[in-house]
Amino acid sequence: MSRRSSRITLQVRDSNKPEPTGRVPLKKRKSEVSKKRVQPAAKKQSYEIQTCWSDDGASPCVLIETPHKELEPSDPSTFKQYTFKNFFIKPSPIPRLSWASADDVWINMLNKELKYVHDKSYLQSHPKLQPSMRAILLDWLLEVSEVYSLHRQTAYLAQDYFDRFMLTQQDVNKDYLQLIGITALFIASKIEEIYPPKIFEFAYVTDGACDMWDIQRTELHILKALDWNLCPETPISWLKLYAQVEAEQENSGEENFLVPQFSQEKYIQIAQLLDLCMMDVNYLDFSYSVLAASAFCHFHTFDVVHKVSGLTWDSVAPCVRWMSPFMDTLRAQATPTVKNFPRVKADDRHNIQTHVSYLELLRKAHEHQNDTLNCQMSPVAIAAPILTPPSSTEKPANP
């Protein structure tokens, strides 16, 4: 029996059942279906970027709503009103790319700045913790990163995971900080590294304080708390972009934007400034793009910083001033050099995280901060009040 005949089934005919009416012609059925056609589902709202360029090219773009005409209701009184916030977008400094739209890449990076929120106020939710404990933990994570030749991006992802996770928690005991920190580094290494260290290696560096099962349980806890949002734009990713754009502008003949063209020596100097600033909890007062631009500003003129970041001086000035004591501290130290790491290619050595005595450098930077604050205080505020002459109406008349 063929496949078609096998689908035929026999039915018992009931003589009491009325005869079925004839089948409706195909054309008539189609006409009935067209009359009862279901209204199409509402389309998604689309947006367009309206350019508002000025002569100098520094004006922002505005993201505006462009609803479809099909969504216009017949009765406006039943239409739910929505308020859309305007997003002001800095002009993209990224040159034209052959593999993607430069504007799309730039807007995606800016969107991540809004999506991934960090705030130092989480310490208020943990009365048993101090800012110095965070500095000690991050210093240790940078040291572990160098031991296992992890990339700078991995270390900064771990810092971001730790701070954002603590923002979701309440009253964490200091005894759990090391477990949270090493688990954040374990997650970051699986995101960034091609060959991440095994979990038993992360447990080993804790010297028995954490075992593999502790790290696995904490990993799931962190992932749920972060809602699996694990791809922020860190200060290192912003710094690499700024350095590459600056080098691209100098070497206009180069076409491959993915190949690093900047100086490795200058890059690791700026990265070391970011490493030191990361130890201070006030680092979380600024966005990651502003932090990278401010560190870049300490090694270049602001005109260069404006071209590679699109930021104005008012946007970066507070962060630049806050970084000044940290930069003064590093100036007194030896200039960092590119280190050699086993099984790391020469053109990738600048991307490997390094470690110096950051806790000692942080202490010196805080001393510079205190000296700066003392110098800014007016002597009038701490000395005896200065006598001022009376106004002309209070002077005695001449005899």
Instruction: Provide the 8-state DSSP code for 146.
Output: H
Please tell me the class of the 101-116+233-374 domain.
mainly alpha
Q: What contacts 162, CB < 8 A, 6 or more positions away?
A: 137, 138, 180, 181, 184
Tens of pLDDT along 210-257? 999 999 999 999 999 999 999 999 999 999 999 999 988 776 655 577
Q: What contacts 278, CB < 8 A, 6 or more positions away?
A: 138, 156, 159, 235
d(CA 118, CA 219) in angstroms, rounded, equals: 19
Chain-centroid distance of CA 173 in Å reads 27
pLDDT values of the chain reduced to their tens digit, one per residue, 399 residues: 444 444 444 444 454 555 555 555 555 555 554 555 545 444 444 444 444 444 554 444 444 444 444 444 444 444 444 333 334 456 788 888 877 888 888 999 989 988 998 999 999 999 999 999 999 999 999 999 999 999 999 999 999 999 999 999 999 999 999 999 999 999 999 999 999 999 999 999 999 899 999 999 999 999 999 999 999 999 999 999 999 999 887 766 555 777 778 889 999 999 999 999 999 999 999 999 999 999 999 999 999 999 999 899 999 999 999 999 999 999 999 999 999 998 899 989 999 999 999 999 999 999 988 887 777 654 544 443 444 444 555 445 544
Domain boundaries along the sequence of the chain: 47-67+83-91, 101-116+233-374, 119-232
pTM, two decimal places: 0.72
Q: Is domain 119-232 classified as CATH 1.20.1260.10?
A: no
Report yes or no: 380 and 386 within 8 Å, Cβ to Cβ.
yes
d(CA 286, CA 113) in angstroms, rounded, equals: 11
What are the phi and psi torsion angles at 60 (to 5°)? -80, 170
Q: What angle do CA 387, 391, 392 make, to 5 degrees?
A: 140
Q: What contacts 51, CB < 8 A, 6 or more positions away?
A: 61
Is 119-232 in the same CATH topology as 101-116+233-374? Answer: yes
